[in-house]
Every structure is written in structure tokens, then in C-alpha cells.
Structure 1
Amino acid sequence: MAGLSYSAHLSQKNSAINSKAKLSGVAKHNLRKYRSLEYDKENIVILCGTDKLVQDVKKVYKEQFDEAVREYNKKQTRDDRKIDDYFEKTAKSNKDMAVELIFQIGDKEFWDKNPDKRRRMDVAFKEMLNMLQKEAPNLVVANAVIHYDEASPHMHVVAVPVADGFKKGMSRQVSKRKVCTKEFLEKVLQGRIREYAEGRSFAWIGEFLKGKEKGRNNDLTVAEYKTQAETKKANQLAKENAESEQELKETMIKQIAAEKELADMYEELKIVENVADLGKNVKKLETMVRKGPDNPKGIMSAKNYREKIVIPFIDKMYDAFKNVVNFAKGCFAQLKELTEKYNEQLEVNEMLRKQNSRLRESIDEQEKEIDGLYDDRKKLGYFKKFLKREDYNKVIEMGEENYKRNVRSR
């Protein structure tokens, strides 16, 4: 393994804390003082300070600068030059009244694979915080909090840079320029704290850090760090969304094809299940045709013979013929083979249905009922050889009329 990444960033430029509004914004973000679906107030850990970050900073100001304020005020002969509240005075001066540092070990990929190790970072960040206070005593920590509700655990530290030896104004003042020097960035943030983390990372989470890299990462501001992190997150979500859409599209195509095949097979199966009855009805029709209508009973006129013998015979033959037509719908496959294929297709279709249910709500079932596989005229043609031409034409007419009535009644 190449090793885990280490990053330490200092607030600068747009992310500089140079007003009470900026400090309040940092407090809201770090302590989750707002409602959000992305962030979870219950999944952060305060290592230093309280859940009132602004008050924590004011407390540091009071502890660090009250004495210097008193000394300064004693030297003033005019009341309008005296300082009532150094915190408020600094907030109005547009200078950095506090700084924010962000520490992180490991990236999203590592933490996604090792969620059980996340809470071990309590100890890691606490030790790193102690190291920061030891190596940079003039950077007085007011508040430190760990975020576990984002892709990678990381620690936000808000501190007040305290410097002494000023000849103009108060002898002790807040000064990012004097405390957060290039030497501090290189030898403390990217130097001794990093080296400490390299030596302790295996004890913390069972992994080593990768070697220090030269480049832009060492100088990223907090704003740039947050922008970079959000960009990576957005790109990852876009990629995952595109993959999900493609998977859904492919699954829908497979399911539609499977459902169509299933519907077709179901219709075939219904036909084949009636093969035995089809044979019986064909035999019955064959017998009737061979026998023909009954002979005249005594002396009968042609009209009486037609009405009492021929037409009833044709009606009976037509009823038998209707049964044959209803059953004769392309029965060429064996029942057992189709049943096995049908069951197999049921399993395939069920598998696709379950897969698709993970990506979207169930696709509406589509079944189409097949109306007549052959038209009555074609089917009657099978029996043309058994009937006289005029009888055959009569049956055709009767069949067409019956078919039209059925269509209109649907």
C-alpha cells in the first residue's frame, strides 16, 4: 500500500476570520448550528472548548489580553484612546481575529473501506492537538471539533494567534502575521506534527502515512480545501448517478424483453394445454361431416327438409367447428417442454424484477391479450375438403358474422 495522505490547512484570504460574522459562520459550520440533510450534529466530537465557539474565543481574548489592555489604558491620558473591549475592537479592524486549521488523515476511498476505524481518530486528533499546542504555544486554541459526518474524519481547530513585544499600541496583540509564519507552516504543520503523525499512525489505525509530497497541497487555504473536497464529492456523485442511470436503462430493457417473452410463452402454454380437447373436437366434426345430414323422414318438401334437417345439422356442425377453432391456435410444441421453459423464464423474470426494484419503483406490468391467431376464414379452410362448396361458403358467412359480434361486444 502506498500509505495514507496527511493534510493540514490554514485559513487565508476568503476563509480568513476577520469579522464577527465570519467567526459566527465558522461556529455554525463546525458545531452544526443549522439543519442539514448532509450533516449530523450527533456525529461530531468536541475536543476543546464548548458548543459556543464565539464565547470560547472571547474567553481566550480575556485570558490573553486583559492585562495588556489594563497596562495600555493606564498610559492613556485621553478616555477616547482607551480600549473597552479588545475583542470588539479587533473585530472592527478587519484583521484576522482568529485562525482556523483543518487536519485530516486518509481519503474517502480509505474510510469507505474501513468504517470501523473512524472513531479511532478520537485519540489521533487529540494527540495531534496536544502536539500543536506544544509546538505553537502562541497559537492559543479556543475550540477544536472532529467531524465524523463527512466522507473523511477531520478536525477543525479555531485558535487565537497571540504575539508579544509590540512597541506601538498594546504590548501583546493578536497577530496572525507574527505567529503563522512560513516557518510555522513548514516546520510545524508540515514538519513536526506530520512527523509525529507518521510515527503514530500505525498505532492509531494500523496504517502508515505516505511520504511528504511537494506541491500545492501544502499551501491550500481552508476555502480551497473545502472547495476541493466539495468538487471531488460532486464529481463522485455525478459518476455514481450516471452509472445508476445506465444500469437502470439496461435492466428495464432486459425486463421488458423478458416480460414479452413470458407473455408469449404463457399464451402458447394455454394453447398447448388444450391439445387433448382439440383432438376430441376434430374427431367429432369429422364424424358429423362424413355422416352428413339425416335422410328425409317420409315425404318432405325441399323447404321443410332444409329447415328441419339441413339447417339444424349445419348449426350443430358450426358449434363443433367453433370448438375446433377455439382450440386450434398454433399447437405444435410439447406441453412438458413448454412448461419447463415457462418455469425457467419465470425465474429469469423474477430475478430481473428484483434487480430493477432497487433502482426505481416497479415497472407497470404489461400484458397483451392476443386476439385470434388466425382469422376464421383461414381456419375454415382446413375443413374445406369435408364440405360442399355452398355449405362451406355458408359456414364462412356465419363464422364472420359471429366473429364481428364478438369484436363489438368487447
Structure 2
Amino acid sequence: MSYAVIRMQKMKSHDLKGIQFHNQRERESKTNPDIDKEKSNENYDMVHDQNIDYNENVKKIIESQKTGTRKTRKDAVLVNELLVTSDRDFFDKLDPDATKKFFRDSLHIFQQKYGKQNIAYATVHMDEKTPHMHVGVVPMRDGRLQGKNVFNRQELLWLQDSYPKTMLQMGFELERGEKGSEREHLSTADFKLKTEREKIEQEIDLLENKISDKKNELLVLNEKVSDEVKIPAKREFKNVEVESKEKNIWGKPKKEIKKEPTGNVIMAEKDFKKVLTAAKDNERMKNGMKRLLSTDLSKENERLEVQNTLIYGEWEKASGENQRLKKENQELRSENRDLRHEIGLLYQSTKEFLKERADDLRAFRNDFKSLVGKVKEKITGSEFERLHKREQTRERNKGLER
């Protein structure tokens, strides 16, 4: 039987834009190789018919129920997102309609538990390795946000224990993850890596948007600055007395007046204002470029890309280990079945052997009971003991029927 996987992640205001990009596939992911773009059209939201603005929708949900006048804190948890899924084997056994029913029934459970009005979104992803659903729950209770009270320890235990049981009653072959098992720890580590990777992808998307916004700012500034400022200006000259080549009667060079440039220009006041405006625009553009470079958004984006690659490597390693343990688990189960069968044969053979050599039925029962007792002393809860108890129960039931 497959295991139910349900995990909860807290979302604050600044997280919602990133998860919106991821859930609604609003940006092409360059960092998540699990996404098959050809299947992205198979994704759907079970609450909305079209893409929404997560922040606006969550704000509406809060404001429609809020009873107090106090403003929502900037660092408040606005959404508790539940990720609902199982393993690949589980979904391989379901046809598309059954898969949709699985997610619809799961959503119905959460709507009853947390209030239909508090479900901000319920996006099903069919374009990744394993189908899964992101359910955004706004933790409103008694007219205010109460994330800590709505999703307390008892509630998280309910999600792990009662949700799988409820789905089993609905006809889905699911069970709770084995408590304390290596499989459970590995699945949790696998999920944490995946969650961390998604968070980094969201950060990368936000940074790329910021870079795009900065580029647009520079383009706007660039459009304001003319390529060539044509100003009708005249050079300023002054009269300077210089020696000429001609000489006077005393044989000394004659003086003459010559116009020389002063290094200044003469222009109309309106033309001067044009030059001043162009210079200011150019300075703003330079400062904008410096500001863009000083924010190190490109470097931060590159750092996150590297970090994401490392996390993806760890996640792949964990997934590989998960598959290995799954295969090993299947082999152990098969081996366990074979051993139980062999013990069953040994049980019957031993019983028949003692029965043939006993003086009467009472002696046989005492001898066999003594043998089971010795086995019990050596191995508590053995298969041999289990078979004996089952047979005794069967004999008692037969006696009652008579």
C-alpha cells in the first residue's frame, strides 16, 4: 500500500508572489528540470477558473472576516500551504478521473476542516514527476489570523494520522507513513529539499523580475535623453591688441586689434535650459546604472542558481536512495512472505509428527503446547506462536458454533 504525503509550509506576504509564479506557471522555470512544459496545460485549480493575484485574493479573504480594526502585521503568516501527494505507484494505478477525484475529495476534507471561505487556492500540478496539489489555507478563526492556533501540534498530527484514514475510507489505498522509520525520515528530507529548491526558484523569479524592472527604468531614462542635442550657439570673442608684421618709422612692429575666442559660447536662455535638462537626464541615467550594479542582483541570482543546483543534486541523491529503499522493502516483504509460508509448513509438519507419536489427544496437546512455550521463550511474538493462537481461536469458534 502507498503512503499518504501531506506537508505544511508557512507563507508570509513576500512569499506569496513567488509561490504564485510557481503554482500558476507565470514564469518559465529555468531551474526545475522536473517540469514538463508540454504537460503544463494539464494543470488546473480546483477553486478558480483562471489565474489570480494571490496577495489580493488573500487580502480579500482576511478583510471579509476580520472583526477588529488592527492592521495585519507585515511579518504575519497569511497562508499555510498544504502539499498533498503520494508516490508514483499510487497514481499509476489511477485513471485521470480517479486522480481528479483523489484531489477533489482531499480538498473537500480541508474545506470542511478549515472553512471553504478560507481556501485561497488549490492548484494541481500534473506536469511534474508525481501529481500533487498545493492548497492555500488562510488561517482565519474568530475574525482574526491565528496561524499558530489553527495549525498547532495537534492539527499537524491530525494531518499525518486522520487524513490517510479518511482517504482510505473513501476507497483510496493509502496509509500513514511509518512512524520513526528510515523511509519516513528520508521522505521528509526529500520533501524539505524539494521545498527549499522551490523557495530558491521563487527567489530567482523575484530577482529576475527586479532586474527586468531596473532595465525598464533605464530604458525609460534612455528614451528621455536625446541622442543629439542641437543647440544654436555662438562662440564668444574678445578684442586683443597684438603685434603686426608691419613696422613703424622707428622700426618697431605696429599694433593691431585681433578677435580671439574666449572659450565661452553665447546662446539663448531657452537653449541653455535644454542643455541643462539633457545633462541632468544623463546624470540620472548614470546613477541608475550605478544603482543597478551596486545592488548585485545579477550576482545574487547567480548565487541562487548555484545553490539550487547543489540542492537539486542532494534531492536527486535522496530520491535515488528512496527508490533503493523502496525496492529493498519490496524484496524484504517478498522474502517475509516466503519465510512465513515455510514456517507454516514447519508448523503443520511438527504438529503431525507429534500427533502420530502421542498416546492420546490430551498428551498430544500438552506436548505441542510445551513446544510452543519453548519457542515463545526463545522468540517473543514469533510466527510459530501466531499460527498456534490463530488455530486455537479457530477451534474455540467451532466449539461455540456447535
The answer to whether the superposition gives a TM-score over 0.5 is no
TM-score range with shorter-chain normalisation? 0.3 to 0.5
TM-score under structure 2 length normalisation:
0.43
Bigger share in strand: 2
* TM-score normalised to structure 1 length: 0.42
Larger C-alpha radius of gyration, 1 or 2?
Answer: 1
